[in-house]
């Protein structure tokens, strides 16, 4: 049976390890443990302050995943939106319905907080994640693009 609860300060070390595994899975070349630890510490602090949600998924008291999310108001439409920032279930607990249960709990909380729509980002190389969210009805809304600053050159003026 899945237990879902907010992160606690005592969970920090375990969640940092989980966050590191999550980031390694997404990008094993760019993941730096110290940066992940700072990110997790910051999110846990914001969760404790009430400005962010960071929920853990547990099976038999073992942390098997997490969801990081928040609500915000759109500056033009003033609609309240939910944003799922990060979502992870460790590989050995996938395909057992735990991710679905955690996602449904997050959706319910975001609706309770007044969200009229829910957004999330999926990395382009995360086909499994994209498929997972599409099963709930998420669709591609826009493309977010990036480039490294080292590609910026004086020659760009000629483009």
pLDDT at 22 over 80: yes
Q: Is 80 helix (H, G, I), strand (E, B) or coil?
A: strand
d(CA 25, CA 28): 6
**145 falls in which pLDDT band (50, 70, 90)?**
confident
**124 falls in which pLDDT band (50, 70, 90)?**
confident
Strand arrangement, sheet containing 117-120:
2-6, 53-59, 62-73, 80-89, 117-120
pLDDT at 81: 92
Q: What is the pTM of this model?
A: 0.84
Task: Assign domain 2-158 to its CATH architecture.
Answer: 3-Layer(aba) Sandwich (3.40)
d(CA 86, CA 22): 9
pLDDT at 155: 60
Domain spans of the chain, in order of start: 2-158
**30 falls in which pLDDT band (50, 70, 90)?**
confident
**20 falls in which pLDDT band (50, 70, 90)?**
confident
pLDDT at 156: 58
pLDDT at 39: 84
What percent of the residues of the chain are helix, what percent strand, and what percent coil, each to the nearest 5? 45, 25, 35
């Amino acid at each position: 049976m899945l237990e879902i609860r907010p992160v606690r300060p005592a969970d920090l070390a375990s969640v940092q390890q989980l966050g590191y595994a999550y980031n390694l899975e997404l990008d094993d070349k760019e993941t730096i443990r110290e940066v992940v630890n700072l990110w997790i510490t910051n999110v846990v602090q914001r969760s404790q302050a009430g400005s962010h949600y960071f929920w853990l998924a547990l099976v038999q008291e073992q942390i098997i995943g997490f969801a990081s999310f928040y609500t915000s108001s759109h500056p033009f439409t003033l609609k309240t939106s939910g944003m799922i920032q990060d979502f992870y279930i460790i590989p050995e607990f996938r395909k057992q319905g735990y991710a679905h249960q955690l996602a449904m709990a997050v959706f319910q909380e975001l609706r309770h907080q007044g969200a009229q729509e829910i957004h999330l980002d999926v990395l382009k190389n995360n086909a499994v994640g994209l498929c997972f969210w599409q099963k709930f009805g998420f669709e591609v809304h826009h493309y977010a693009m990036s480039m490294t600053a080292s590609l910026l050159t004086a020659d760009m003026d000629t483009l």
